[in-house]
Amino acid sequence: MSVTADAVTGDFVAARPHLFAVAYRMLGSVADAEDVLQEAYLRWQSADRGAVSSPAAFLTTVVTRLCVDHLRSARVRRETYVGPWLPEPLLTSPGADEPVELAESVSMAFLLLLESLSPLERAAFLLREVFGYSYEEVAGALDREPSAVRQLVSRARRHVAERRPRFPSDREEHDRLTRSFVEACATGDLDALVAMLHDDAVLWSDGGGKVADARKPVVGGAKVAMFLVNVARAAASASVDVVPVNGALGVVLRVAGQPVSVVTLEVADGRITTVRNTANPDKMAHLTT
């Protein structure tokens, strides 16, 4: 049966949002996810579509396997990464009817939780627990027996449960604290920052060794507040956008219109527990407008 080029492209375009959602959660990188999708498209062009009953399922399998291979090589590269590594921030606008599991799975905190999993555990967990695939479907995507997939998912659940915050934040509370955080930083209100930060708050900065940044975590609410006030003073000329980032409000700093930093917060029990600042220029490219 002949298949037109338009049909081939159309099938891929229809599946693309889902494929990107899988790839980004697998890799924590917009650029790497786009590379994987490009490779998947090339493979789709040369595939025997007469043997493909579901283009979406076929493409999800290709993307998943490419991501697993990429993660295995990424672990080696991360050993030489300068300073803390954070996922690439993603500007988001989740729909009101989006499942909670899907919205939470794009958060910085959740993406970092996934870093504790092996590539196969990560793939099995995401496909089963986040995207709702059956064990048999996940087994097909990973070329494993369903019993092996059940073990992968079980181990992943255990690791994630052990590391998940005990007190998840309320979205309204998170957004309110984010706006108060921005105002306190902009006005240099050290006391206000200290009050909204948990005593054991931690700040992580990812500059990738390419910009001046803290290469070790800053620990303690007072120290984090002082660090933030100093950074805000140095970046006084930057414009500040408070926009949805990875499923919740975050902060994008721009200089001359170009993004230079993205800040996201983790909140629990009415206070900020974690500040994550991504400033590696390589992770800002996709945010350029």
DSSP 8-state symbol, 99 = -
**Is 66 in a helix, a strand, or coil?**
helix
User: Tokens 């902060």 identify what position?
Assistant: 251
Say if residues 263 and 277 touch (Cβ distance below 8 Å): yes
Q: What string of pLDDT tens digits covers the 289 residues of the chain?
A: 445 667 678 899 999 999 999 999 999 999 999 999 999 999 999 888 788 889 999 999 999 999 999 999 877 677 788 999 999 999 987 554 455 567 788 999 999 999 999 999 999 999 999 999 999 999 999 999 999 999 999 999 999 998 887 666 688 899 999 999 999 999 999 999 999 999 999 999 999 999 888 889 999 999 999 999 999 998 888 999 999 999 999 999 999 999 999 999 999 989 999 999 999 999 998 887 5
Tokens of 64: 């998943």
Closest CA to 225 of 195, 250, 245: 195
Structure tokens at 27: 């890799």
Give yes or no for a contact between 220 and 236, defined as CB atoms under 8 angstroms apart. Answer: no
Q: Sheet of 197-206: strands edge to edge?
A: 218-219, 197-206, 271-278, 258-268, 248-255, 239-245
pLDDT at res. 212? 81
Hey, what are 2's tokens?
């002949």
At residue 85, the pLDDT reads 94
